[in-house]
Amino acid sequence: MALIASLRMVLAPPHRAGYPFIAAGAAVTLVGLLVSHWLFWLGLAFTLFALYFFRDPERVTPKRPGFAVAPADGHVCSIMMAPPPPELGIGSEPRFRVAIFLSVIDVHVNRIPAAGLVTKIAYHVGTFVSANLDKASDENERNAVALRLADGRDLAVVQIAGLIARRILCDLREGDAVATGQRFGIIRFGSRTDLYLPPGVIPLVELGQTMIGGETIIADLSPAPVLSLEQT
């Protein structure tokens, strides 16, 4: 079963953002068949890499409401208190930020961490330092999305370009109603995704833990129960 799951992951259909790269690689491969062996192998290698990098496997998102799931594959490279990006306008109160670093071999399709309403999308032009550094959250080029939960609280997910990433794609529009685990964009090639939890929510993951986008539970968003005087 594990082998079948691994094969499904590797052989998953590509995200549409990869079509131009796959087509270009295939064209070079075909030309290489006619004119040059080294061009053929170069084109084939690039085509296979593009197919692997842009793979977009199906995910099984937890059905129980109230959970925030990982917005990306990769590993947790930082857990710290930080204010959300100021361009989102959801306040400056520090909250837990879980940062996920995506290597070039990780699935790069981003997913919605929790159901809600997209209230703000803000693109910020920045630098391209290594995405596993803490300063990447503030200095790198990024696309920030604010989500309003059903209970009125806000969380934010931020797509961050990395050292070699130069393109962030986001399919959302302000006012969109989104579901937990829904695909919403992709970053190419190598990047980082930050999740800012609502104030008071504590992450359930650990530093270095491997994330599976749309599946791994990052936090329980259920408000803490209010105790009555009789219960205290």
Which residue numbers are catalytic? 191
Query: Measured on CA atoms in the order 74, 13, 165, 116, is the torsion positive or negative?
Result: negative
DSSP reduced 3-state for 154: strand
The answer to whether the CB of 120 falls within 8 A of the CB of 90 is yes
Tokens of 225: 């129960």
Show Cβ contacts of residue 227 under 8 Å, excluding neighbours closer than 6 positions.
none
Report the Cα–Cα distance between both ends of the chain, in Å, rounded: 49
Q: List Cβ neighbours of 104 (8 Å cut-off, separation of 6 or more).
A: 53, 164, 189, 190
Half-sphere exposure at residue 177, Cβ-oriented, CA atoms within 13 angstroms = 1
Task: Tell me which residue of 62, 65, 73, 67 sits closest to 203, measured CA to CA.
Answer: 67
Question: What residue type is assigned to position 96 of the chain?
Answer: F
Report helix, strand or coil for 9: helix
Residue type, 138: D
